[in-house]
Structure 1
Amino acid sequence: MELDIVGLSRLQFALTALYHFLFVPLTLGLSVIIAIMETVYVMTGRVIWRQMTKFWGTLFGINFVLGVATGITMEFQFGMNWSYYSHYVGDIFGAPLAIEGLMAFFLEATFVGLFFFGWDRMTKLQHLAATWAVAIGSNFSALWILIANGWMQNPVGAVFNPVTMRMEIEDFYAVIFNPVAQAKFVHTVSAGYVTAAVFVLGVSAWYLLKHRHVLLAKRSMAVACSFGLLSSLSVVVLGDESGYLATEHQKMKLAAIEGMWETEPAPASFTAIGFPNQAARETHHVIQIPWALGLISTRSLNTEVPGINELVARGRERVENGIQAYDALETIRTARGVANVDPSVKAMFEDHGADLGYAYLLKRYVDDPRQATAEQIDKAAWDLVPQVGPLFWSFRIMVGLGFFFIALMAAFFWQSARQRLGEPRWLLKLAVLAIPLPWIAAELGWFVAEFGRQPWIIEGVLPTAMAVSSLGVTDLLITIAGFTLFYSVLFVVEVKLMLRAIAKGPEPDDEAAPSHRLQAAPQPAE
């Protein structure tokens, strides 16, 4: 990225978003895991399950607080760094963000408080209900964020008003049930479940290697590997759905991920390995899996998958159509409304209005897109191609890690079924070493999703370069340095608190206290 307002604004948002997402997936997954553990406790009355719930709940609480702290900043950035974006799509984008804020700060925060301070003030069933409310609230909070993000990838249920120069919501139902948003939600949440499962598995394996808290570790590991195996399998299945939707709504992103310059005839092959060369516009030393891309992206063996060169040619046509839409728009604005213009102008805008955003790509080269030369139109068309190399390899590393998680969880599930979770030691060590890998996979997934959408901040509607605020480079450099320093401090605090809580281990449980209602008959700790 160039050292300009657009590049620096993207860099700042990317840094804060990636930092924030260090905390989100663990919150999503741990909330469900501790709810499962407490459910077992309520059903069996065994003290060890309450102890497990409290211990993993403590780690959840540390992560939750820092996740909220880092998330607040992100929403303010829309007004600070992306003011034209906020003006252009605020009617649509603002609604899910507002709902997410209400769920995060009212629903989640309320029940998190009940989870931590309600053990001896509520019945078992009441506390269990609060714990499940935390899990459900956390996941539904993520839903609204992903609805907003899904709309940026596939802007449905909205129309452009040529008078106000804004996108306005037309069908809120379509926004909520946007297929891209729904696929992103289940895929992202499943990835969070895998993150938490690997975390619980790794920490439990460390306890077993140290011969500490063995009963807690083995039971936690049994929950984690079962939950994690289902989650890791679902991530792969739901990732397939994302690939299918990309073929329909974001063909250029798919072609870039594949490093596919020429159209792949049916049945399309998947490129397992290759070395994209963007300057030469080709991919070298390709190793392909026959038919795989056709099955993933088109669910068929008789549909071709368009390559980058063909999509650029289509983009050039849309840029030219967008120029006509831009010309009609300027006439409408001068006349102060559609009703005051010639019907032919209105018809032209209706025919080509969907391509208006493509005309805006020319703003990088000329103030008035109507004055663009053929060379500038060609450059704008090639701007539709994101950086292929980083997308190509990020996607493959993410997929490789996904299959590794399946294998890891399956191995521990097999050991659990045989009641041999404490062995072999090399497998326990592998689980400990694997702890950071789900975060790497998740961050790469977001990189592919967001970097692959460029040059659009809203796919096909608004280029990223037009969405920024009128800030100075110095202002952005200062805020980037400030955010990086502050977030790094928070990350160090998070890690230290987590390590301290893990080293300390679970607190002794006092379930026999008379203040706890619906008390189960005293049982020996297991």
Structure 2
Amino acid sequence: MVDPLLVELSRLQFALTALYHFLFVPLTLGLSILLAMMETVYVMTRRTIWRDMTQFWGVLFGINFALGVATGITMEFQFGMNWAYYSHYVGDVFGAPLAIEGLMAFFLEATFVGLFFFGWDRLSPRAHMIVTWLMALGTNFSALWILVANGWMQNPVGAAFNLETMRMEVTDFVAVIFNPVAQAKFVHTVSAGYVCAATFVLGVSGWYMLRGRHIELAKRSFVIASAFGLASALSVIVLGDESGYALTDNQKMKLAAIEAMWETEAPPASFTAIGIPSRSDRKTHFAIHIPWVMGLIGTRSVDTPIPGIDELVQRAEARIRDGLIAYDALEKLKVDRDDGVARAAFKASSHDLGYALLLKQFVADPRQATEQNIKDAAWSTVPGVPWLFFGFRLMVLCGFVLLGVFAVSLWHTIREAEAPRWLFRMALLAMPLPWIAIEVGWFVAEFGRQPWIIEGVLPTFLATSELGIYNLLLTIAGFTLLYGVLAIIEVRLMLAAIRKGPEIAAVVEGLRPGRPAPRPAVAPAE
């Protein structure tokens, strides 16, 4: 049996690196589109202020992009280092979109990032604008393949277990790409990145306005960020609703846990605005319900029920029993591959094999499991309800607050010649909100999938490598130290660039190969 501490440390290490990496990804996604929009205005109007804006925000984009690449590489090494059995069992499926992301999207993105920074004086304005748009598309396209891989972990379509190789293999790559969960996650994640970038631009512009610096750049940046952010925030809400609808079909237990819905309600189900869920007595205390809302979001109907946790646990127990038939047949086939009876039995129950593997947490051979083991395994399919319940509501609260910030900002900037100072303070204070919402949202998505590393196929506790506890503790400490240093570097570089303002673009321009270094503003004393 697997050491639970080994599993928890492996999960902790990947969670820390993933959450840290995801501090940079959303800002990169959104800033790339804003840069393309700003440069398009420059090409259309030929007003240099828009070129200055593109170059200034481009410097901040470049700093963030570099840190995102550096932290992303570490994550991919962990699949082989910490999750060796996972890589062996599903590498043929999971590795394909990752390889495409590296070979196509990342190279496309990195190539055009280089042209963006070094092509200002080598390309015509129109050609450089095209490069900027291609950079933005490459950046967003890169996210697509990562989310295709992650979406398959949430909803493993287009793949099947191969009896000859004893591994999962692709049977329909088109189904993997167009997985409804992956597509919903992609548009929702990208829209959240746009909100993040809009809030960042809004906050920095607000700071300039409060300090009375770079007023023309700040005013225009504030307006474009308000409009872009409002549209993005609305799309996040709409696409988040679509993600909820996808959960109803593919991850019913996650949806029930997010709602702390212990029992199946008569349709249409109500939405629990707030409450205190308790796993000990399987109730949600002091709950405030909004009638019909959850039924409409989750089923798009008024007559379809949403199953509660208790009902889903009973379904899991039935699937564990069916999976035991597949597990027994598989063990017989390991001895005699020509056993026709075992092959037929495995084919009939193979879709529930993963549920039988849940028993390995309680007994070495699932076929020796007791009734209590089966019941415990069924209840292990319930993730941490309070964490998901409150995490989801924190994410939604941040989203609606940001929607209000963008709406108020746009209202004042298009109606008033001089916006009130409190508006800029509000924009500055709102800057942490998108990162809070994004990190919490990612936690809800991944923690809500537990105990599965691949939904219904492979439990997380079976996917780890045979690493020692001390190896994991050492690497966690090393990553924490390294990422702490990188965080200090990132913050200092960003703050320095923001304090310097648009002049930082001129400094970068002078440091490009083949160009003279920028002259100091004041000649040094003789």
TM-score range relative to shorter protein: over 0.9
Aligned counterpart, 1:341: 339
Aligned counterpart, 1:518: none
Q: Give 4+ residue runs of structure 1 displaced > 6 Å after superposition.
A: none
Length-normalised TM-score, structure 2: 0.94
Return the match for 2:351 from 354, 357, 374: 354
Aligned counterpart, 1:363: 360
Aligned counterpart, 2:517: none
Q: How does 1:228-267 map to 2 (within 5 A)?
A: 228-267=229-268
SS of 2:503's partner is: coil
Superposed CA RMSD in Å reads 1.3
Distance in 1 between the 2:110 and 2:268 partners?
51
Aligned counterpart, 2:439: 443
Letter matched to residue 318 of structure 1: R
Return the match for 2:464 from 468, 482, 503: 468
Letter matched to residue 364 of structure 1: Q
Q: How does 1:147-296 map to 2 (within 5 A)?
A: 147-296=148-297
Aligned counterpart, 1:29: 30
Distance in 1 between the 2:413 and 2:138 partners?
31
Say if 2:444 is the partner of 1:452. no
Distance in 1 between the 2:478 and 2:314 partners?
43
Say if 2:499 is the partner of 1:499. no
Aligned counterpart, 1:311: 312
Aligned counterpart, 1:517: none
* Mapped contact 2:277–2:385 kept (Cα < 8 A): yes
Length-normalised TM-score, structure 1: 0.94
Distance in 2 between the 1:219 and 1:334 partners?
72
* Mapped contact 1:51–1:508 kept (Cα < 8 A): no
Letter matched to residue 341 of structure 1: D
Gaps of 5+ in 2: 510-526
* Mapped contact 1:100–1:144 kept (Cα < 8 A): yes
Aligned counterpart, 1:146: 147
Aligned counterpart, 2:372: 375
Show CA shifts across 1:175-198 (max 9, x none).
000000000000000000000000
* Mapped contact 1:139–1:189 kept (Cα < 8 A): yes
Distance in 2 between the 1:148 and 1:106 partners?
18
Distance in 2 between the 1:184 and 1:424 partners?
37
Q: How does 1:97-136 map to 2 (within 5 A)?
A: 97-136=98-137
| Superposition deviation, residue 508 in structure 1 | 8.4
Distance in 2 between the 1:436 and 1:149 partners?
26
| Superposition deviation, residue 3 in structure 1 | 6.3
SS of 1:469's partner is: coil
Show CA shifts across 1:46-100 (max 9, x none).
0000000000000000000000000000001000000000000011100110111
Letter matched to residue 217 of structure 1: A
* Mapped contact 1:225–1:413 kept (Cα < 8 A): yes
Distance in 2 between the 1:263 and 1:457 partners?
26
SS of 2:266's partner is: coil
Aligned counterpart, 1:480: 476
Distance in 2 between the 1:105 and 1:174 partners?
23
SS of 1:247's partner is: helix
Letter matched to residue 242 of structure 1: S
Aligned counterpart, 2:411: 414
Distance in 2 between the 1:452 and 1:180 partners?
14
| Superposition deviation, residue 417 in structure 1 | 1.9
| Superposition deviation, residue 148 in structure 1 | 0.1
| Superposition deviation, residue 347 in structure 1 | 2.3
More displaced 10-residue stretch of structure 1: 173-182 or 156-165: 156-165
Aligned counterpart, 1:64: 65
Distance in 2 between the 1:284 and 1:181 partners?
34
Distance in 1 between the 2:129 and 2:265 partners?
53
Structure 1 residues 311 and 3: alpha-carbon distance in aligned structure 2, compared to 1, 3 A threshold:
closer
| Superposition deviation, residue 488 in structure 1 | 1.2
Distance in 2 between the 1:147 and 1:106 partners?
18
Show CA shifts across 1:199-254 (max 9, x none).
00000000000011111001001110111111000000000001001011000000
| Superposition deviation, residue 507 in structure 1 | 2.0
Return the match for 2:392 from 383, 395, 400: 395
Distance in 2 between the 1:483 and 1:509 partners?
32
Distance in 2 between the 1:3 and 1:195 partners?
36
Show CA shifts across 1:101-133 (max 9, x none).
123542111111111111011111111111111
* Mapped contact 1:47–1:509 kept (Cα < 8 A): no
Show CA shifts across 1:108-163 (max 9, x none).
11111111111011111111111111100000000000000000000000010123
Distance in 1 between the 2:4 and 2:489 partners?
31
Distance in 1 between the 2:75 and 2:104 partners?
16
Distance in 1 between the 2:486 and 2:301 partners?
48
* Mapped contact 1:294–1:301 kept (Cα < 8 A): yes
Aligned counterpart, 1:326: 327
Letter matched to residue 443 of structure 1: E
| Superposition deviation, residue 332 in structure 1 | 1.3
* Mapped contact 1:108–1:137 kept (Cα < 8 A): yes
* Mapped contact 2:106–2:138 kept (Cα < 8 A): no
* Mapped contact 1:322–1:359 kept (Cα < 8 A): yes
* Mapped contact 2:271–2:290 kept (Cα < 8 A): yes
Distance in 2 between the 1:484 and 1:195 partners?
24
Aligned counterpart, 2:86: 85
Distance in 1 between the 2:95 and 2:442 partners?
21
SS of 1:4's partner is: helix
Aligned counterpart, 1:299: 300
Aligned counterpart, 1:519: none
SS of 2:169's partner is: strand
* Mapped contact 1:82–1:469 kept (Cα < 8 A): yes
* Mapped contact 1:42–1:125 kept (Cα < 8 A): yes
SS of 1:346's partner is: helix
Show CA shifts across 1:470-500 (max 9, x none).
0111100000010011011111111110000
* Mapped contact 2:391–2:444 kept (Cα < 8 A): yes
Q: Count residues in correspondence.
A: 505
Distance in 2 between the 1:456 and 1:487 partners?
28
| Superposition deviation, residue 509 in structure 1 | 8.1
Letter matched to residue 452 of structure 2: W
Show CA shifts across 1:387-418 (max 9, x none).
10110000000001111111111111111221
Distance in 1 between the 2:503 and 2:39 partners?
16
